[in-house]
């Protein structure tokens, strides 16, 4: 009996041991609670702040995530404060101020979503720590919206700034001085609220500040501004349209790329620019200027080859003149290399284009033929774009046809007297039913208007210039979804014109139709678009 009882006790013990080892504890429910502030030294919204250090305590371990983009300090400080922990976890945030604080000024540290708990990264959303070096904390606000001048959606992380419009204010301050107040839309909203403001008159502007220095860099940043000044307090809601300025024309570091090929990099609009060689050259000297299709560069091609160490140039444009020295060395020339577009299929509205790596110097129409599927010769017209070094061929196209294009040797001759070899290619057309048609009826329109179909990235796919009240038709549109965009061509030059901050010029107005437009094969889509005043 004792032995049998011992076996029972032993078996029961093994059973309990097996049950205990079948799984591991779950650890309880997932923590969804953000950290909580338990104390601040000095306390939030303190007045008469005299120190240079702030400490904020939490009820659990926290860490700072993406704080370089999330933290906004208003007014901005020339010397950024030291903030810990930059890495790892802590139960407090320590802020060491390295700037001399202005008297009677309210400062705000907006942490965005950078404060998260250590384990689950639950954010403490939009925490603001505020203090004043004076007797009171400024409490006024100014609100508004960020728009994009041409795009569907505005950029994220847009800075909105106020500059005091006192006796020292000039518009050039945005290039070199920090604003009086600043906020940021961060990564989630296109609205803004400037808080803890004091009464006064200000210049209001927005920047897509790519290098985050709180100053306007014309070449890299977008800008938006309110015309005139704003006053605080004010209950108005302000719309700021971000746009990319076209900088003043300027040449940047010309250099030799290959044999007899010099790139003059530029910023701004190259229209009207002239490049003149000022070195002594022979009577046989010749040159051509084309635009680099992939970069903001004008390419200066010349011949014959010159055995010199450098060449001198003068570049001029409206209100611009500058001399340059370009070092020359013996290098291999680029060779003729034709590129054609489109590829295998061509739409009824498209032209056939030929470009070349080197500048074209001649076209022999007798050596260029287009034949249809019945081997009948197709008439065509041709235009040459000198700057873009491109021949465009236009011809009538019919449904389900195959067009054979033949370019015999000598059809094209380049600047260095090289000819093309024989090239044969074919292009096919589809049926009209393979495409969709879109008709737009404009209401309350003030002409001229540029009417466009654009994709989700605001890239123009089709465009019509409308000058009078009549239907705007986009025929034979590839199937897919499009946005309808209208540009109000105020200066009637046929293109969208951006703004200019220093001249106080806003970009030309752009309106989007509120709904997507679907172009469906064999379907005619008709939309009425009422334009607001």
Bridge-based pairing state of the strands 480-488 and 517-519: antiparallel
Q: What are phi and psi of 37, to 5 degrees?
A: -80, 130
Tokens 């998260």, residue located: 116
Higher pLDDT, 159 or 187: 159
Contact 422, 411 (CB under 8 A): no
Q: Of 504, 502, 521, nearest to 430 (Cα)? A: 521
DSSP classification of residue 67:
H
Q: Which two tokens stand for residue 173?
A: 């301050």
Instruction: Outline which parts of the chain fall under CATH 2.60.40.10.
Output: 250-327, 435-530
DSSP 14: H
What is the predicted pLDDT for the residue at 423?
Answer: 97
> pLDDT over 90 for what percent of the chain?
90
For 143-170, what is the mean pLDDT? Answer: 95
CATH number assigned to the domain covering 338-430: 2.60.40.3710
**Residue 22: pLDDT over 70:** no
Q: Is pLDDT of 24 > 80? A: no
Using pLDDT thresholds of 50, 70 and 90, give the confidence band for residue 10.
very low
SS3 content of the chain, % helix, strand, coil (to 5): 5, 45, 50
Residues 261, 259: Cα–Cα separation, whole Å: 5
Neighbouring C-alpha atoms within 13 Å toward the C-beta of 176: 5
What's the token pair of residue 78?
């020339």
Domain 435-530, CATH among 1.10.357.10, 2.60.40.10, 2.20.25.90, 2.30.30.830? 2.60.40.10
**Nearest Cα residue to 272 out of 302, 315, 311, 312:** 315
Per CATH, the number for 37-132 is 2.60.40.1220
Q: What mean pLDDT is predicted for residues 144-160?
A: 95
For 432, the 3-state DSSP assignment is helix
Question: What's residue 125's pLDDT?
Answer: 87
What is the fold, at CATH topology level, of the domain defined by 250-327? Immunoglobulin-like (2.60.40)
For residues 188 and 203, give the distance between their C-alpha atoms in angstroms, rounded to a whole number: 25
Considering just the CA atoms, what is the radius of gyration of the chain in Å?
A: 33
Tell me, what's the pLDDT at 486? 98
Contact 517/481 with Cβ under 8 angstroms? yes
pLDDT of residue 35 exceeding 80, the answer is yes
Q: Which helix (H) or strand (E) holds 69?
A: helix 67-70
Query: Cβ contacts of residue 256 below 8 Å, gap of 6+?
Result: 262, 326, 327, 328, 329, 331
φ and ψ at residue 88, rounded to 5 degrees: 80, -175
pLDDT, tens only, 288-305: 999 999 999 999 999 999
**What's the fold here for domain 140-242?**
Immunoglobulin-like (2.60.40)
Instruction: Dump the DSSP string for 156-198.
Output: SS-EEEEEE-STT--TTHHHHS--SEEEE-TTT-SEEEEEEEP
d(CA 96, CA 83): 6
What is the dihedral sign for C-alpha 274, 280, 286, 288?
Answer: negative
Q: How many distinct helices (H) and strands (E) make up the chain?
A: 3, 40
Whether residue 420 has pLDDT greater than 70: yes
In this prediction, residue 189 carries a pLDDT of: 83
187 falls in which pLDDT band (50, 70, 90)? confident
Q: Start-end ranges of CATH 2.60.40.1220 in the chain? A: 37-132
Beta strands in 165-319 (DSSP E): 181-184, 191-197, 200-208, 222-225, 230-232, 237-242, 250-258, 261-267, 274-277, 286-291, 297-303, 310-317
pTM of the model: 0.85
* Residue 32, pLDDT score: 76
Q: What is the pLDDT of residue 56?
A: 97
7: part of which helix (H) or strand (E)? helix 2-20
Residues of the chain with CATH 2.60.40.3710: 338-430
Q: For residue 413, what pLDDT is reported?
A: 98
């Amino acid at each position: 009996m004792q032995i049998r009882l011992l076996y029972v006790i032993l078996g029961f013990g093994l059973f309990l041991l097996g049950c205990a080892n079948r799984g591991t504890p779950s650890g309880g429910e997932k923590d969804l609670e953000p950290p909580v502030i338990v104390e601040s030294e000095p306390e939030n919204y303190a007045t008469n702040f005299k120190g240079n250090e702030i400490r904020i305590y939490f009820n659990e371990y926290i860490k700072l995530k993406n704080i370089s983009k999330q933290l906004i300090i208003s007014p901005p400080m020339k010397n950024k404060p030291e903030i810990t922990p930059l890495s790892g976890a802590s139960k407090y945030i320590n802020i060491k101020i390295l700037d001399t604080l202005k008297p009677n000024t309210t400062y705000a540290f907006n942490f965005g979503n950078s404060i998260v708990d250590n384990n689950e990264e639950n954010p403490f959303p939009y925490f603001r720590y505020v203090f004043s070096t004076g007797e009171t904390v400024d409490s006024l606000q100014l609100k508004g919206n960020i728009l994009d001048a041409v795009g569907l959606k505005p950029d994220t992380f847009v800075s909105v700034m106020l500059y005091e419009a006192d006796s020292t204010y000039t518009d050039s301050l945005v290039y070199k001085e920090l604003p009086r107040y600043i906020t940021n839309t961060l990564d989630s909203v296109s609205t803004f609220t400037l808080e803890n403001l004091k009464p006064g008159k200000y210049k209001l502007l927005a920047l897509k500040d790519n290098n985050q220095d709180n100053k306007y860099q014309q070449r890299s940043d977008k800008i938006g501004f309110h015309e005139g000044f704003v006053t605080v307090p004010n209950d108005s809601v302000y719309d700021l349209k971000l746009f990319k300025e076209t900088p003043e024309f300027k040449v940047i570091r010309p250099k030799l790329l290959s044999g007899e090929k010099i790139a003059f990099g530029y910023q701004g609009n190259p229209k009207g620019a002239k490049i003149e060689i000022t070195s002594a050259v022979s009577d046989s000297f010749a040159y051509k200027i084309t635009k680099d299709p992939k970069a903001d560069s004008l390419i200066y091609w010349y011949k014959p080859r010159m055995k010199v160490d450098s060449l001198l140039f003068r570049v001029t444009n409206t209100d611009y003149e500058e001399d340059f020295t370009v070092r020359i060395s013996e290098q291999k020339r680029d060779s003729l290399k034709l590129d054609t577009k489109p590829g295998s299929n061509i739409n009824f509205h498209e032209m056939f284009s030929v470009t070349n790596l080197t500048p074209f110097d001649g076209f022999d129409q007798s050596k260029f033929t287009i034949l249809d599927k019945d081997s009948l010769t197709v008439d065509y017209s041709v235009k040459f774009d000198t700057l873009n070094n491109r021949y465009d061929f236009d011809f009538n196209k019919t449904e389900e046809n195959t067009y054979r294009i033949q370019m015999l040797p000598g059809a094209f001759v380049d600047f260095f007297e090289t000819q093309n070899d024989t090239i044969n290619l074919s292009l096919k057309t589809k049926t009209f039913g393979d495409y969709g048609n879109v008709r737009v009826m404009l209401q309350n329109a003030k002409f001229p208007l540029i009417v466009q179909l654009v994709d989700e990235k605001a890239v123009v796919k089709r465009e019509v210039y409308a000058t009078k009240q009549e239907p705007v038709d986009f025929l034979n549109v590839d199937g897919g979804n499009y946005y309808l965009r209208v540009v109000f061509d105020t200066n009637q030059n046929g293109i969208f014109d951006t703004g200019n901050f220093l001249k106080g010029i806003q970009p030309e107005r752009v309106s989007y139709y509120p709904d997507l437009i679907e172009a469906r094969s064999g379907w005619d889509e008709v939309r009425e678009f009422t334009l607001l005043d």
